[in-house]
Structure 1
C-alpha cells in the first residue's frame, strides 16, 4: 500500500516538473529580454561621456599664403652673334660653360685685317679728293678771272657795235668767248660739288667700317655666366652666326603657375586693388630636409589663364642670386632650378580653423550643454591645411576637430580643448614652421 502511494507521488511530481519547467524557462526568457531592452541606458550613459577634441574659435593674426611652382631663368639673356665675317684669332680663358665674366671683359676677337684695309683705302680716297679739290679750286679761280675778262670784252664789243666801229661778227665772237668761260667755271663748280658728295659717301663708308671694327671684339655687356659656347679659336665665322650664349647674374625670374581658384581669394583677402600690389613673395627650395629661402618681388601677373590647368602665371624676381649664395647653406639660383614660389598677403585678423574640421560646408560644434550640433559655414580662404571662416562660426564656438565614432546631432559629449593644435594653428596662421 505504501509502495503504491510512493509511486503515485513520484508520477505526480514528474508531471508537475514536465509542465513547470517550460513555464519557468519561458518566465526566465521574458525577464532576460527585459534586461536586454533596458541595456541601452548604460550605453547612452557611456556615450554621454565620450571625449572629443575641440578648438575654441577665436580671431588670430593670419597671413594668407598660396604656392606655385616654376623654373628659374635669368632676367637678362645675352646671345653673342657674329656681326662680321672672319677668323677667330683670340679667345678668353673665361669663355667656358659656367664661367663668370665681369662686365666689359674681352671674351673673343675676330680678325679685323680686312676692315682695317678698307679703312686705309677710304682714307686714301679721301686724301685724293682733298688734292683734287685743291686743284679744282685753283682752276676755278683762273676760270673766274677768264669769265670776268670775257664778260668785260663782250660789253666793250657791244659798245663798239653801237658806235658802228665793228661788225656784228666781232660781237658774236666775244659772246662765244664769254659763254665758254662761263661753261668752264660752271664745270669746275659741278666737279667740286661731286667731290663733296663723294666725300660724304666716303665718310659714311668709313663710319660703317669703323663700326664693323668695333664688332671684331666681343665684350660682356654686363656681368654674365657663360651658358653655351659654339665657337672656338681658329674657326672662321660668318655674319649672324651664334658664337656663345650667357646669362645675366644681377637678377633671375620665376614664372610660377598658381591655381586661379586660390589666387582670387588671396587677392580679395589682401584687400583687392591692383593684383599683386599688397602681396609679398618668397622663393623656396627644399634641400636635404630643410628649406632655403630667397626674398622676391612680384614683377607682373599674366592676364592669360591656362585652360588646361586653370592657373595664372605670376612672375617674381630675385635680385643678386649669386651675391646671396652661401657655400653649403644657400646655393645660387641658376637657370633650370625648379622652385616653389610662396605668395603672402598682409597680416589680418581672422577666424582660422583646421581645414579638416570642415566637411564641404558643414562643421560640428559642441553647444553650451555639451551636445553636438551641425553648423553651415562659409570658407573665405583655404590653403596649407587651414581654413578662414567667413560666416557660420563666431568667436567662442567650440569646434570639433576630431572625428567622433558616432556623430549624431544632439549627442552628449565631453569636450577636451586641444591646446597643442591651437598653438600649431597660431604658428601656421603666420606662415611659421611647425605643425
Structure 2
C-alpha cells in the first residue's frame, strides 16, 4: 500500500509541474507583430518617360548569292585542247586567267580563207577602177573621131548635092559615121554599167568582211578567260573532250560583291520607308522605290548561327511585288568585297546559299516616346504619382521593336513608369520606388540601335 501511495504522489506531482509550466508559458507569450511596410508597400524599379531619338529597324531573312554569275557556254564546237590545271570547283582565280581553250585550227583556216577572198575582191575593185578610167579616156577619143566623122559627112552631103561626089561615096561616109556612133554608144553603156559592177563588188566585200568578223568571233569564242576575279562552281569540261555548241563548260561566281534578297515583313518596311521623303516624279520615275534615297538606310548582313559574323551592306533596290508564299516584301542589299578581311572562325566569306539575317535601319524624323515592352501590361502602364501610389494608365502602342514599345498616346514626358510587374496591381496602393539608372541608359542605347 505504501508503494502504490508513493506512485500516486509522483503522478500528482508530475501533473502539477506540467500545469505550472503551461501557465508560465501562457503568461509570458508575446503577441505577433505586423510589418505594414513589408506586406503592403512593394519595392519596384522605375524610370522617367521621355522622348528619345529613335532608330527604326526592319529585319528579314534571305540567302546570299553572288552579284555576278558566269555560266560559260560554248558558242562553237570543237575539242578541248587546253584546260587550266586549277579549273576545279571552289578555286579562286584572278581576272585575266586563261581557263580553257577549244581547238581553234578550223576557225583560223576560215579566217585565212576570208582574208584571201577580201584580197581578191580588193584586186577586182582596183581593176574595175582602172577599166573605168581607160574607158573614159577611150570614150573621149571616140567622141572626137565621131565629131570629125560627122563634119566629114556634112561636107560630103554638100558635095553630093552639088554633084561633085557620087551617091555611093555619101553612103560610105554615112555608114562610117553610124559605126563611130555605135562605138561611142557602146563605150557610154560600158561606163553606165560601172556603178552596178562597183556596187556588186562592194556588196561582196561587205559579205566577206562579215564572214571575216564571224571567223574572228568564232576564233575568240574558242578561248575562255576570267572576265573578273571569280570563284569556280561546277566544272563539266575535261581535257580532250569534244564540246558541242551550246554545251555548258563551267560556272563561276564573281567575288567582288554579293547580294541578299531579304524577305522583310510589310509593316516593318512601311515604317522604315516612312522615315524618308519621296522625291518629285519629274524625272519620269513611277516606281516609289526609285524615288527614295536608298543610301539613307543603314544595312547590315549577319550570318544566322555564325557567332557574330556580319558584313556592312547597302540597299540597292526594292523588288517589285510581294513574295507569294510569305507575303513579305523583297529588299535587295549588296555586300561589297565579301572575301575581304576573312577570318576562318569569326568572319567567313559570304558565299552562295548562306542563310543570313538583314538589318535595315533609319533614324526617325522626330523623337518618340519609348519604354520597355515589358512595362506594358495588356494595354496599360503602371505609373507612380506624387503620393508614391500606383496608377494604372491606359496607353496606345504604335508598334513594338525588339524589347521596346513606342507609345502613341497615354504617356507624357516626365511620367514615372514602373518597370516591374506588380502583383496584384491595385490602383492607389503604396509603392516604394527605386530609380533604375542602368535601365534608363540601356533604354537610350536600344532606342538608338546601339545594341543588337
- Which TM bucket (shorter chain)? 0.7 to 0.9
- Deviation of 1:262 (Å): 2.0
Of stretches 372-381 and 96-105 in structure 1, the one that deviates more from structure 2 is 372-381
Partner of 2:237: 231
Partner of 2:119: 127
Q: 1:402 to 1:149 in 2, by over 3 A?
A: same
Q: 1:314 to 1:172 in 2, by over 3 A?
A: same
Pair 1:334-2:351 in alignment? yes
CA distance in 1, matches of 2:224, 2:152: 79
- Please list, as runs of the form range in 1=range in 2, the aligned pairs for 1:73-222 lying within 5 A after superposition: 73-137=65-129, 139-140=131-132, 142-163=134-155, 164=157, 165-167=169-171, 168-184=174-190, 190-222=196-228
Q: Which runs of 5+ in 1 are unaligned?
A: 1-41
Pair 1:358-2:364 in alignment? no
Give the RMSD, CA atoms, in angstroms.
2.9
Q: What secondary structure is seen at the aligned counterpart in 2 of 1:333?
A: coil
Partner of 1:22: none
Post-superposition CA distance 1:372-427 (Å, at most 9, x none):
22212233342111112233112332223222221222333333444554343344
Partner of 1:402: 420
CA distance in 2, matches of 1:129, 1:272: 66
Q: What secondary structure is seen at the aligned counterpart in 1 of 2:426?
A: coil
Q: What secondary structure is seen at the aligned counterpart in 1 of 2:227?
A: coil
Q: What secondary structure is seen at the aligned counterpart in 1 of 2:47?
A: strand
- Deviation of 1:357 (Å): 1.7
Q: What secondary structure is seen at the aligned counterpart in 1 of 2:309?
A: strand
Q: Does the 8 Å CA contact 2:56/2:271 hold for their aligned counterparts?
A: no
Q: Does the 8 Å CA contact 1:147/1:185 hold for their aligned counterparts?
A: no
CA distance in 1, matches of 2:199, 2:321: 61
Post-superposition CA distance 1:1-43 (Å, at most 9, x none):
xxxxxxxxxxxxxxxxxxxxxxxxxxxxxxxxxxxxxxxxx79
* Equivalent position to 2:431, from 407, 413, 424: 413
CA distance in 1, matches of 2:93, 2:243: 22
Pair 1:72-2:89 in alignment? no
- Deviation of 1:313 (Å): 1.6
Q: Which runs of 5+ in 2 are unaligned?
A: 1-33, 158-168, 279-291
Q: 1:252 to 1:138 in 2, by over 3 A?
A: closer
Partner of 1:54: 46
CA distance in 2, matches of 1:353, 1:327: 40
CA distance in 1, matches of 2:293, 2:197: 69
Q: TM-score, normalised by structure 2?
A: 0.77
Q: TM-score, normalised by structure 1?
A: 0.80
Q: Does the 8 Å CA contact 1:267/1:276 hold for their aligned counterparts?
A: no
Of stretches 55-64 and 388-397 in structure 1, the one that deviates more from structure 2 is 55-64
Partner of 2:298: 280
CA distance in 2, matches of 1:142, 1:54: 111
CA distance in 2, matches of 1:185, 1:45: 126
Q: What secondary structure is seen at the aligned counterpart in 2 of 1:208?
A: helix
Aligned length: 391
Of stretches 240-249 and 110-119 in structure 1, the one that deviates more from structure 2 is 240-249
* Equivalent position to 1:305, from 310, 313, 322: 322
Q: 1:187 to 1:271 in 2, by over 3 A?
A: closer
Q: What secondary structure is seen at the aligned counterpart in 2 of 1:64?
A: strand
Partner of 2:308: 291
Q: What secondary structure is seen at the aligned counterpart in 2 of 1:326?
A: coil
Q: 1:175 to 1:419 in 2, by over 3 A?
A: closer
